[in-house]
Each structure stands twice: as C-alpha cells, then as structure tokens.
Amino acid sequence: MSDQSTPTADHSTFYTPSAEVMSRARVQNWEALKAESDADPMGFWAARANELGWYQKWDTVLDDSNKPFFKWFVGGKTNIVHNAIDRHQSTHRKNKLAYIWEGEDGSQRFVSFAELNTEVSKFANVLKSLGVKKGDRVTIYMGRVVELPIAMLACAKLGAIHSVVYGGFSTEALKGRILDSQSTVLITCDGANVSGKRIELKAICDGAIDAESPIKTMVVYKRTGHDVPMVEGRDFWWHDLMKNASPKCETEVMDAEDPMFILYTSGSTGKPKALVHTHGGYSVYTYTTFRYVFDIQDEDRYWCAADPGWITGHSYIVYAPLMNGATSIIYEGGPSYPAPDRWWNIVAKYGVTILYTAPTAIRGLMRFGADWPAKHDLSSLRLLGSVGEPINPEAWRWFYENIGGSRCPIMDTWWQTETGGFMITPMPVVPLKPGSGTRPFFTLKAEIVDENGEAVAPETEGYLTILGPWPGMARTIYGDSARYAQTYWSRFPGRYFTGDSARMDKDGYYWIIGRVDDVLKVSGYRFGTAEIESALVSHPAVAEAAVIGLPHEVRGNAIYGYVLLRQGHNDSPELREELRAHVAKLVGPIAKPEKVTIVDRLPKTRSGKIMRRLLKAREQGLPEGDISTLEE
C-alpha cells in the first residue's frame, strides 16, 4: 500500500541525548507529563492557553457538539499578533532581536521586536488605506525577505486572512489560489535571489492576473532592484506606501475561532485546497509545541531553514518563535551558494543553537561531503530538527555526527499543513531511534489501523489515524466544509485520517512510511499527481497524461509523466523537453518531471482508472503483479 520507499529502519538502537542537553531541558519527566496530559487534555490545554495573553478568557476549552467541526477556547478574544509582538513591547524583549536576516548576496538585517512592531503597524496601516478589512483575503507571494513575515503579521493584526503562496510556485498555481481565495490585494517582490539566479516574482504575478482576477492592488517590495513594469493605478511600491504610514495601529480583537490564515496544499484532486487556521487554537498549539520540542530559551538563536511560505514557516519561522520571544535567522538563498558550506558558515557566524531543516536538504548537502561542515565551528548547536518526509537513517546519522557533533538530538517532527503543528515528535529528553518521530505529543493519541479501521498489531504497516481533536487542527477547507469532512473524517469515522501509512514498533515508536493517497513529496513539497497531470494536459500536444512518483536519492520523490499525444503530434526529444518545461512554468520548477515518456496508451482498469502501480513497476523494471483488472 505504500507509495514511497521505506527507509531501512533499525528498530532496536536508541540514541540517548547527552547529559548536558537533558539536564537543561524544560520538560524533564516526559513520561509523567505525557500520562498526566493524556488523562486530562482539557486541563493541559487550558493551562497552556493561560500562558498566553487574551483580551478575554474563553468560556469553554473545547466544543465538540458539531463533529468534525471542533471549536477551541470558545468565547475567548485574542489576536495572534497580540502574543507574537504586542505583549513583548512592555518587557525586555522589546530590544531583543526577532529576526537576523542574511541575503544571498551577504547583506544583513537585524530587526528587534520593537522594530518589528513598527514595521508591522505601518504596513497594517498601508493595507487599511488600500481598503483591507477584517475577514478579507490577501495573497502574499514573496521571496525570503523580512517583509514576508511583516506582511503576514500585518494581515493578522487587522484580522485579514493571509494566503501565502510559496515563491517556488508558478503562474497557474498562483492564479488558481488567488481565484479560489478571492483576494483583492497581492503582495510581492520585484524578484528573489536564489542559488545565483533571479526569480521573476513580479513577472509571475503579472502573468497570474487576467481580466477575471479579483486582484485590485499589487504591492511590490523592492529586493533585486531590476526594472519591472508597474501598472498605473494597480501596482505600488512598498517603500512609497510605507513612507507616510503611521507607526501606530490598534490590533484587532478577534474571536478565538476567527480564521487567521488559509494555506493551500495539494490533495488527491487537481484542485488545491486551502486549510483554515484560527487565531486562538493555532496560537496555543504552535506556542506550546515549539516551547517543549525545541526547548526554546531566551538566549537561543534558532534557525528554521524552511520557507515561510510553507506551513513549517508559518508555524515555526513566524508565529511560534515570535510568541515565544525567540530570535530567528532567515536566510534568503540557496544552501550551497556560492559554496556548499553556506549554511555552516551561517550557523557559525550567528551562533545558531537550534537548526531545523528537511531531509532533502540534508541529503543534498551530504553529497558534498563532511569536509565542508568540518571547516566551521558548529559547537553553538544544541538541538537539530527534521521535517517534511521520512528521514532515512543514513541522512540522520550524517546530520547527527557531522553537524550536531554527536551531541545534539534530532527532533524528527511528523506533522502536516492540516495539523498546524508537531504531532509525533521527540523532545530533548526522549531517547531517539534514527528515522522515527518517536511518540505522539502531549494529549495526542495516534493509532495505526487496517482497511476496516481496526488497530493493527505492533510492527504491522497500516493507516495512521489520530484520535480526538487538538487545538492546532485546521478547522475546515476554505469554502468547502463538505470536502473537509469527507477527506479527513469519513474514511475512519470518529478519527482524523492523515493520508500516511506507518508502523508502530514494540517500544511504541512510530515510523512513517509515506503517503497512501495521490500526494507526492518532492524535496519536501507537496504535489498532487492530478495537479501535474492537468498541467501536462493543458499543453496543446497532449491528449491524456498520468503521473507517478518514484524514489529519488536527494529529493525523496521524483515525478515521472506518461503522455498520450493528440493526433498530428509526434514524439521527439524536443517535445518531451518542452513538456517538462511546461510543467515547471505552470506549477513550479520543483514540479518539473524527471522524465516524460510518450506512450500509445495508458494502462487503465476497466472502470477507467489509471493503474499507476503498473506504470511504476514498468519504469523500475519490476514484476507487474496482478493485472487482472487491466482493460484491453
């Protein structure tokens, strides 16, 4: 049933964190707190919520009267910006750095919590002047600049709903997300610097706006400084609008359950779905998980090397670190530019204590060899983190030994856009096994089940489900509650279905195997096969297309496309290349197929379903298995 290669898992060896890491960890007795929180989840979450600021406290921790549409901290009034920025203004953190930013060209910025407050307030006033109000959607499509979190926070401050589209997506992807969210304002940059190349963000935005587009205004932050055409009356420079903006702006009082942001992710159909996260529950959940798992302390310098445009960036570059008053690093560019030790240079230069990244990045850097990190003093590191896909034990050990100096435990955090924050994750005192996220977070219960929803025995592969709600869960799919209930809560009634397959070992540790739906993880990014297929089919030469994912050494998965041509078109290396480029142009460069094969027909079942399993077997030269349902 699994779609991806299974890491060769060693289920017996434990790595025990060092005495130094353990002795300073915030959570000392993990087992006791886990048992206590599982016995009283509401008490646990109410206590955590009490650590944050509220304009008005909640009446009910959890309202589960309308399952699966759970509500948390009902009656509570807050705003995530109140906790991320406002409340630090009256403490020592006011003068503490919120962000240390480094551009790919080596330029630097140091932004304190006070400066962040000023910038966010000013930009919130800019948005107001453009007519943005509570509940409106704003699309953000930027490179990795500090203005990306500033734009997000400014929206949240006003109660507007941000929809960040990752800067690696292309025109069609951006266009579809703008249309679905009915955003009226688009915030972008002229360009972005990544791996020595310029990404034409503004040009992509121009391409995504046509006559039907709801976008009325585009705000452009100048980063690369190259010439970009500006449309009179529609496009404005960020710095022009900010010039006269007031640095004072009241933070909007929001209901705990008011939507805070939407974020699009891929599922089984071609239409991407936006998950809705709230001001109250999401705040409490991300604040708490970050505090415990990364054991954040005031003196830490924390670096999540993901993109703010991914859920990892929303939760663990922007909101949770800021709510915890942490100092974060943001690096603009590519990991191996201009040389393969760029990251290690950054760790040493800023004294990074916690580094959180993805297996694909580790594998990519591992290829250059251990001499590169060895050139730098990485002794400031205390904890490491991994997210996005199963980490193969080889990459785990390389990261552990060569980056963490065999001192730093790796927090392998399993979670999803839908879950808002970490779900299955170690903490600094938990003994580790390379490749396992260990056990569910406080209050959570995970269960691996078979087709019928029956729990399977340890060491048996099955579907990963989560029992019971948690504060950080997505509340719905934007504009499509029925799809939310159907996708996540109908297959195994009463449980949240993750879409992943997994195994639990005899020690109760969870091992994620991979997706069981038509979702592919390429370099940690989520794509639906249908999304890529519809991009292929939009090419005039293509009649029909099928897409599969196959294991790839660095990227986790690589995309393979199979295409049936329309009459009058013939196979040629040029056409295959053009089709690859077409997908990159429409969806994004990461989605560019490894290979496109022109076929005479696609293997289908008699009911017309493409047999991807067969395409996979053929591509890998493996036995075809049962083909009795194949139509002929």
DSSP secondary structure string for all residues of 40-56: -HHHHHHHHHTTS--SB
Q: Considering beta carbons, is residue 184 or 419 the nearer one to ligand WTA? A: 419
In the list 498, 523, 534, 557, the residue contacting ligand WTA (rule: CB under 6 A) is 498
**Within 390-409, which residues bind ligand WTA (CB under 6 A)?**
390
d(CA 485, CA 481): 6
Which residue of the chain is nearest ligand WTA when measured via CB?
417
Closest C-alpha to 215, from 272, 144, 159, 163: 163
Q: Is 415 in the site for ligand WTA (CB under 6 A)?
A: yes
d(CA 261, CA 164): 9
Q: Is 529 in the site for ligand WTA (CB under 6 A)?
A: no
Draw the binding track, 213-252, toward ligand WTA (x: CB under 6 A; -: no contact). Answer: ----------------------------------------
Q: Is 475 in the site for ligand WTA (CB under 6 A)?
A: no
Q: Is 328 in the site for ligand WTA (CB under 6 A)?
A: no
In the list 389, 447, 518, 531, the residue contacting ligand WTA (rule: CB under 6 A) is 389
Of the candidate spans 16-24, 25-33, 166-174, 495-503, the one that interacts with ligand WTA by CB under 6 A turns out to be 495-503
Q: Is 143 in the site for ligand WTA (CB under 6 A)?
A: no
**Within 256-285, which residues bind ligand WTA (CB under 6 A)?**
265
Q: Is 412 in the site for ligand WTA (CB under 6 A)?
A: yes
Of the candidate spans 90-98, 139-147, 218-226, 413-421, the one that interacts with ligand WTA by CB under 6 A turns out to be 413-421
Written as six digits, the tokens of 452 are 């019928």
Residue whose entry in the numeric block shows the structure tokens 């009034």:
77
Provide the minimum distance between the beta carbon of 264 and ligand WTA in the complex, in angstroms, as a whole number. Answer: 10
Cite the DSSP H helix spans in 279-392: 280-293, 311-313, 320-323, 342-350, 359-366, 371-374
Written as six digits, the tokens of 404 are 């963490």
In the list 170, 283, 327, 416, the residue contacting ligand WTA (rule: CB under 6 A) is 416
Of the candidate spans 170-178, 466-474, 492-500, 544-552, the one that interacts with ligand WTA by CB under 6 A turns out to be 492-500
Number of C-beta neighbours around residue 288 at 10 A: 27
Provide the minimum distance between the beta carbon of 412 and ligand WTA in the complex, in angstroms, as a whole number. Answer: 5
In the list 276, 378, 504, 512, the residue contacting ligand WTA (rule: CB under 6 A) is 512
Q: Is 413 in the site for ligand WTA (CB under 6 A)?
A: yes
Cα angle 263, 267, 271 (rounded to 5 degrees) comes to 80
| Distance between start and end Cα atoms, the chain | 25
Provide the minimum distance between the beta carbon of 386 and ligand WTA in the complex, in angstroms, as a whole number. Answer: 6
Judged on CB neighbours under 10 Å (0-12, 13-18, 19+), 137 is buried
Provide the minimum distance between the beta carbon of 501 and ligand WTA in the complex, in angstroms, as a whole number. Answer: 9
**Within 281-320, which residues bind ligand WTA (CB under 6 A)?**
311-312
Q: Is 531 in the site for ligand WTA (CB under 6 A)?
A: no
> Is the preceding omega at residue 338 within 30 degrees of 0, hence cis?
yes
Position 594, amino acid: E
Q: Considering beta carbons, is residue 359 or 373 the nearer one to ligand WTA? A: 359
Residues 424 and 441: beta-carbon distance below 8 Å:
yes
Q: Considering beta carbons, is residue 258 or 500 the nearer one to ligand WTA? A: 500
Provide the minimum distance between the beta carbon of 91 and ligand WTA in the complex, in angstroms, as a whole number. Answer: 31
Provide the minimum distance between the beta carbon of 490 and ligand WTA in the complex, in angstroms, as a whole number. Answer: 18
Q: Considering beta carbons, is residue 437 or 472 the nearer one to ligand WTA? A: 437
Provide the minimum distance between the beta carbon of 93 and ligand WTA in the complex, in angstroms, as a whole number. Answer: 27
Closest C-alpha to 611, from 601, 596, 621, 600: 601
Q: Is 388 in the site for ligand WTA (CB under 6 A)?
A: yes
Of the candidate spans 126-134, 388-396, 558-566, 612-620, the one that interacts with ligand WTA by CB under 6 A turns out to be 388-396
Q: Considering beta carbons, is residue 442 or 496 the nearer one to ligand WTA? A: 496
Provide the minimum distance between the beta carbon of 8 and ligand WTA in the complex, in angstroms, as a whole number. Answer: 15
Q: Considering beta carbons, is residue 218 or 423 the nearer one to ligand WTA? A: 423
Provide the minimum distance between the beta carbon of 498 and ligand WTA in the complex, in angstroms, as a whole number. Answer: 6
d(CA 161, CA 54): 20
In the list 251, 327, 328, 417, the residue contacting ligand WTA (rule: CB under 6 A) is 417
Written as six digits, the tokens of 551 are 């294991």
Of the candidate spans 62-70, 208-216, 411-419, 548-556, the one that interacts with ligand WTA by CB under 6 A turns out to be 411-419
Question: How far apart, in Å, are the Cα atoms of 411 and each of 214, 291, 578, 628?
Answer: 42, 13, 41, 45
Q: Considering beta carbons, is residue 76 or 393 the nearer one to ligand WTA? A: 393
Q: Is 511 in the site for ligand WTA (CB under 6 A)?
A: no
Q: Is 436 in the site for ligand WTA (CB under 6 A)?
A: no
Provide the minimum distance between the beta carbon of 590 and ligand WTA in the complex, in angstroms, as a whole number. Answer: 12
Q: Considering beta carbons, is residue 264 or 350 the nearer one to ligand WTA? A: 264
Question: How far apart, in Å, are the Cα atoms of 210 and each of 138, 176, 185, 202, 205?
Answer: 17, 11, 14, 14, 10
d(CA 386, CA 254): 33
Q: Is 549 in the site for ligand WTA (CB under 6 A)?
A: no
Q: Is 357 in the site for ligand WTA (CB under 6 A)?
A: no
Written as six digits, the tokens of 181 are 């969210």
Q: Considering beta carbons, is residue 365 or 474 the nearer one to ligand WTA? A: 474
Closest C-alpha to 561, from 629, 608, 619: 619
Closest C-alpha to 277, from 479, 82, 419, 489: 419
In the list 137, 144, 526, 555, the residue contacting ligand WTA (rule: CB under 6 A) is 526
Phi-psi region of 15 (alpha: psi -120 to 50; beta: other; left: phi over 0): beta
Q: Considering beta carbons, is residue 286 or 417 the nearer one to ligand WTA? A: 417
Torsion of CA 587, 592, 595, 596, to 10 degrees: 20
β-strands 185-189, 161-164 pairing: unpaired
| Secondary structure E strands in 353-430 | 354-357, 383-386, 410-412
Paired strand residues for 227: none
Cite the DSSP H helix spans in 369-437: 371-374, 393-398
Roughly what angle, to the nearest 10 degrees, separates helices 41-49 and 280-293?
A: 90
Q: Considering beta carbons, is residue 184 or 417 the nearer one to ligand WTA? A: 417
Cite the DSSP H helix spans in 541-591: 573-586
Chain residues in the site for ligand WTA (CB under 6 A): 265, 311-312, 386-390, 412-417, 437, 498-500, 512, 515, 521, 526
